[in-house]
Amino acid sequence: MKKILLLTIPIFLFSLTSTLSQTVHKVAVANFEFDPDTLTIQEGDVVEWTNAGGFHSIQGDLDAFPENPQGFGNEPSDENWQYSFTFNLEGIYDYRCGIHTASMLGRIIVEGTVGLDEEETGPAFVLFPNPINNYLRWTWNDNFKPKQALLTVFDLKGTQVKQVNLLTTNQLEMNDLSEGLYMYNVDMNEEGSQNGKLLIAR
C-alpha cells in the first residue's frame, strides 16, 4: 500500500500541473493553406483549427499518416467550422486537408513535459537519446542509484518488446524495433518505479 501511494501522488500532481498549464494554439484554415502550417507545442496542449471558408477538413488519421503517434481529424465541410484536438503523446504529427491532399499540408511537433518532482530534484536517471535511432542509453543521478532497476519497453498494444537490467549495462539495442511510439516502465523495487514514453525515429 505504501508503494502504491508513493506512485499515485506524483501522478496526480503531474496531471494537475499539466491541466493548469494547458495552452490552446489556433490555426486558421483559409486560402488553401494552414496558418501556421507548423506548430511546436507541449504535451497536453490543444490545437484548434478554424475554417474561414472553403471545402476543407483536417486529416491526420493513421491510415493517411501511419507514423503519427495518434490519429485525429474531422469530416470535410464548406461551413465555417472549428475543430480541436488535445495532443497527449509527444512526437511528430503530420496532417493535411482531406480534399486538397497534395497542397494543404501541416505538422504538429509535440514536446514532452517534465513533472514537479523532476523539476525540483532531477530525475533518478535519464534515458537518451529520445527520439532514438539505434541504441537507447542512460545515465544515473549522482545522488541516487537503486539496488534494482529493470527497464521494460512495451508497444502501444501493451506487448512487452524489450527488457534489460539498467545496472548491468548502459545501453540497449533498439534497431530491431519499428519506428513509432513506445512506453516504458523502470521497476526499482522499494524505490518505486518510473514510467514514460520513447520515440523511435530514423
The pLDDT of residue 143 is 74
Contact status, residue 101 vs residue 88, Cβ threshold 8 Å: no
Q: What's 178's domain CATH number?
A: 2.60.40.1930
Residue 13 forms part of a structural domain: no
The total number of structural domains that make up the chain: 2
Q: What is the mean pLDDT of the chain?
A: 83
Contact status, residue 26 vs residue 48, Cβ threshold 8 Å: yes
| Residue 136: pLDDT over 90 | yes
Residue 5 forms part of a structural domain: no
| Residue 163: pLDDT over 90 | yes
Over residues 140-167, the mean pLDDT reads: 89
Domain that holds residue 164: 123-200
Q: pLDDT band at 117, cuts 50/70/90?
A: very low
Of the three residues 64, 90, 111, the one that is the final residue of a domain is 111
Q: What's 37's domain CATH number?
A: 2.60.40.420
56-65, 67-76, 105-114, 133-142 — which is least confidently predicted?
Answer: 105-114
Sign (positive/negative) of CA torsion 131, 133, 136, 142? negative
Asked if 28 and 89 sit in the same domain, the reply is yes
The pLDDT of residue 126 is 85
- Each residue of 18-73: pLDDT tens digit? 444 579 999 999 999 999 999 999 888 999 999 998 999 999 999 999 989 899 99
